Amino acid sequence: MGVSDAPAIALRGVVKRFGPITAVAGLDLEVPPGICLGLLGPNGAGKSTTMRMLTAQAIADEGSIEVLGWKLPAESKQARAEMGVVPQLDNLDVELTCRQILTVFARLYRVEPAERPAAVQRALQIANLTERAETRVDLLSGGMRRRLLIARGLVHRPRLVLLDEPTVGLDPQIRQELWSLIGALRAEGTTVLMSTHYIEEAERLADTVCVMARGLIVARGRPAELVREHAGAQTHEVYGPPARLEELRAQGERAGWAMRRSGPALAIMHAERHDGLLPEGVRRAATLEDAFVALTGEEIE
Amino acid sequence: MSAVVRAGRRRPLHRIEPTAVVGVMSRDATVFTRNWKTTTFSSIVEPTIYLLAFGFGLGALISSIGGLTYKEYVGTGIVAMAVLFSSAFPGLYGTFLKYRFQRTYDAFLAAPVDVDEIVSAEILWIGLRAGVYGNAPLLVAIAFGLHPKPTAVLVPLICFVAGVGWVGFGVAISASAQSIDNFSYITSGVLTPTFLTAGTFFPISNFPPLLRALAYVNPLHHCVALVRDVVVLGVHPWADLGHLAFLVGFALLTWRLAIWRLRVRLID
C-alpha cells in the first residue's frame, strides 16, 4: 500500500485505562485520507482520550496506533510534524499577539525560516485574522481565539488535522463561522478527524460519522446511512401527560418498538413499520439524534 | 482560503532537536519582551537590598573574614543568592503556571516537541537570565568600591551553570507538586536554608561537623566559592575545577530529574 492510499489514522485494539476506569476499551478505527471523520459521542465516551493518544499525550495500554504511516508512540514526533491539532481547551499564550504565536509555532513545526512570514500570513488569512495580527490574545473575542487556535494548527499546512470539540461552548453565530472554516478545509482534501458531541456539527461537516460510547465505536457510516439503518425513515412523536406516555411506553415495549424520550414527547422510531398501530402524534423525518440514542441509549446535544 | 494539502515529509526527527529547543526559547524570549521590567526588578532588587543591608549594616561591625572586607565577602556571596532567586523561583512558579493554568506545554506537545526539549529550553532560557541577573549585586558592590580581578569576567558563566541546576530543581519540584501552596515548604524548608548555609553571609568553616558536611553538598556553596575566587581571592585551579564539576553535575542531575517529573505530569 502506498503512502497516499494508506489510512491517515489506524487504531487497532486500543485500550487506555486511568486507574480503575477504562476510557478507551479496545478501539478499532481507520480514517482514510482526504475525508472528514466525525467522532460523535457524549461526554466521557473516550473521544478526548483518543485524540490525546493520537498526539502521544496519552499512551495506549494495549493495541497499536499509526498516524500518517508513523507508529505511535515511538514515532509520534514525526507524525505531529505532519498534522495540526486544534485542542478543546484554549491554550494560547495570552501575552502574545496573533502573529507572534503563529511565528513561534511555524518554527516549532519546522517551517523553513524563509517561508515563515508567508506561512504566518496565510494562516492569518485562513482564520480571517489578518487585521488582528498585531493584537494581543487577551484582547481577542472568544470566537477570534478559537479561529487563532485553528490557524495555529494549520500554519505548517498539515496533511491531517485533529479537531477536538472545535465549537464547544461557542455561540451559534461563531459556530457557523467555524463550520465554514472547517468546511473549506475539508473541501480542499485535508484529512480531518473531528470529535464532537453536537449532532448537527457531525451531520453538517463529516463525510463519515463514528458513534462512540463507553470507549468503543458502536456504529460507523455516512450520517444518512446511520439514520436509515438505526432509526428508520420516520419518527413518530406522541405528546401527552406523563402517565399516558408511560402506558404507551409499556405497550411499545411489549410490541418491540424502538422508543426514546424526546423532550416532553415519546418518540417512536421506525414509525413507517408501524403504520396504523400508533396513536395520534406528529410524524417527522428520522434524525441522526434518533440513531444516536437508539445506538447508545444516551441523550446528546 | 488557500490550499492546505501537500505531500508528506519523511525526514527523521531526533529526540532533542535544536530547532524545537530554540523554538520554545523563542516563545519565552517573546514573552520576556513584554514583561522584562517586572522580571528584572524582582530578580535584581531583592539581592541588592540584602547586599546593601548586610554590606553596610554588618559590614560596619565586622572588619574582615578570611582576609576579605565584609563588603567583598558579601558582595561576592550574594551573587549566588541572586542566581538562586532568578532561577529556582521561575522554575517553580513559571512551570506550574504553564502546565496547570495556561496549558502552554500541552500546546507544545501537540506540535513536534517532546518533554526533553521543553525542559531543556526552559532550563537554558532561565539559566541565561540567571547568568545576567547574577551579576547585578556584583556591579553594585563594584560601584561601592569592590575591585574585581580580571577573572571576574567568568562570573556570568558560573551564574549560568549554577542557574541551570536550580531551574532544573525548580521544574522537578513544580512538576511533582499538587498545589502551588506546596511551594511554601520548598521556599522555607529548602531554599532559605540553602542560601543561609552557602557561605554567603558567614563562613561555613565554623559550622558543627554535620552541618558543615551538609553545606559542602549544597550546590550554592560551590557557586559562592567559585565566584569569590574569580572575583577577589584568585583562581585555585584544582579546587575551582572541583567546584565547577559539582555545579555541572548538579545541573545534569536536575535536568534529567526535571524531564522525568514533567513527563510523568504531562503524559497520561
Give residues 187 to 226 of A whose Cβ lies within 8 Å of B: 188-190
Q: Which chain A residues are Cβ-neighbours of B112 within 8 angstroms?
A: 77-78, 80-81, 108-110
Q: What is the pLDDT of residues A106-137, one digit of tens each?
A: 999 999 999 999 999 999 998 889 999 999 99
pLDDT for A99: 96
Reply yes or no on whether the pLDDT at A169 is more than 80. no
Q: What is the average per-residue pLDDT within A135-160?
A: 92
| Chain B residue with Cα closest to A67 | B8
Closest Cα in chain A, distance from residue B151 (Å)? 38
Reply yes or no on whether the pLDDT at A288 is more than 80. yes
Closest Cα in chain A, distance from residue B243 (Å)? 37
Contact between A104 and B30 using a beta-carbon 8 Å cutoff: yes
B27 touches chain A (CB under 8 A): yes
| Chain B residue with Cα closest to A181 | B1
Contact between A78 and B112 using a beta-carbon 8 Å cutoff: yes
Q: What is the pLDDT of residues A151-166, one digit of tens each?
A: 999 999 999 999 998 8
Report how far apart, in Å, the C-alpha atoms of B101 and of each of B93, B148, B207 are.
11, 44, 43
- State the Cα–Cα distance between residues A206 and A221, nearest whole angstrom: 10
Closest Cα in chain B, distance from residue A35 (Å)? 12
Reply yes or no on whether the pLDDT at A4 is more than 70. no
Q: What φ, ψ does residue A269 adopt, rounded to 5°?
A: -85, 170
Q: Identify which of A108, A110, A159 has the shortest CB distance to residue B8.
A: A159
Contact between A78 and B267 using a beta-carbon 8 Å cutoff: no
pLDDT for B2: 33
Q: pLDDT in tens for each of the 268 residues of chain B?
A: 333 334 445 567 778 889 999 999 999 999 999 888 888 887 788 878 888 888 778 777 887 887 888 888 888 888 998 999 999 999 999 999 999 899 999 999 999 999 999 999 999 999 999 999 999 888 888 888 889 999 999 999 999 999 999 999 999 999 999 888 888 899 899 888 888 888 888 888 888 888 888 888 999 999 999 999 999 888 899 999 999 999 999 999 999 999 999 999 999 8
Percent over 70 (pLDDT), chain A: 97
Q: Identify which of A90, A103, A157 has the shortest CB distance to residue B4.
A: A157
Indicate the burial class of A25 (C-beta count within 10 angstroms; 0-12, 13-18, 19 or more): middle
Closest C-alpha to B114, from A48, A64, A73, A92: A73
Does residue A29 contact residue A217 with C-beta atoms inside 8 Å?
A: yes
Q: Which chain A residues are Cβ-neighbours of B11 within 8 angstroms?
A: 78
Contact between B1 and A77 using a beta-carbon 8 Å cutoff: no
- State the Cα–Cα distance between residues B165 and A160, nearest whole angstrom: 39
A217-221, A250-254, A268-272, A274-278: least confidently modelled range: A274-278
B114 touches chain A (CB under 8 A): yes
Closest Cα in chain A, distance from residue B108 (Å)? 8
Q: Identify which of B4, B6, B106 has the shortest CB distance to residue A91.
A: B106
Contact between A93 and B2 using a beta-carbon 8 Å cutoff: no
Q: Which three cell numbers stand for residue B91?
A: 522554575
| Chain B residue with Cα closest to A81 | B112
Domains and CATH numbers, chain A: 33-56+77-220 (3.40.50.300), 233-285 (3.30.70)
Q: What is the average per-residue pLDDT within A271-295?
A: 84
Q: Identify which of B2, B103, B111 has the shortest CB distance to residue A105.
A: B111
Contact between A57 and B109 using a beta-carbon 8 Å cutoff: yes
Give residues 97 to 116 of A whose Cβ lies within 8 Å of B: 100, 103-105, 107-110
pLDDT for B5: 33
Within A55-189, residue ranges assigned H as helices are 76-81, 98-108, 116-126, 142-154, 172-187
Contact between A57 and B31 using a beta-carbon 8 Å cutoff: no
A257 touches chain B (CB under 8 A): no
The whole-angstrom distance between residue B123's C-alpha and the CA centroid of its chain comes to 9
pTM score, two decimals?
Answer: 0.88
Closest Cα in chain A, distance from residue B126 (Å)? 18
pLDDT for A296: 82
3-class secondary-structure state, position B190:
helix
Reply yes or no on whether the pLDDT at A301 is more than 80. no
Q: What is the average per-residue pLDDT within A232-239?
A: 88
B30 touches chain A (CB under 8 A): yes
pLDDT for A128: 87
In the numeric block, the cell 467522532 is attached to A39
Closest C-alpha to A192, from A45, A62, A54: A54
Closest Cα in chain B, distance from residue A144 (Å)? 16
- State the Cα–Cα distance between residues B35 and B29, nearest whole angstrom: 10
Reply yes or no on whether the pLDDT at A208 is more than 70. yes
A55 touches chain B (CB under 8 A): yes
Mean pLDDT of all residues in chain A? 88
| Chain A residue with Cα closest to B4 | A157
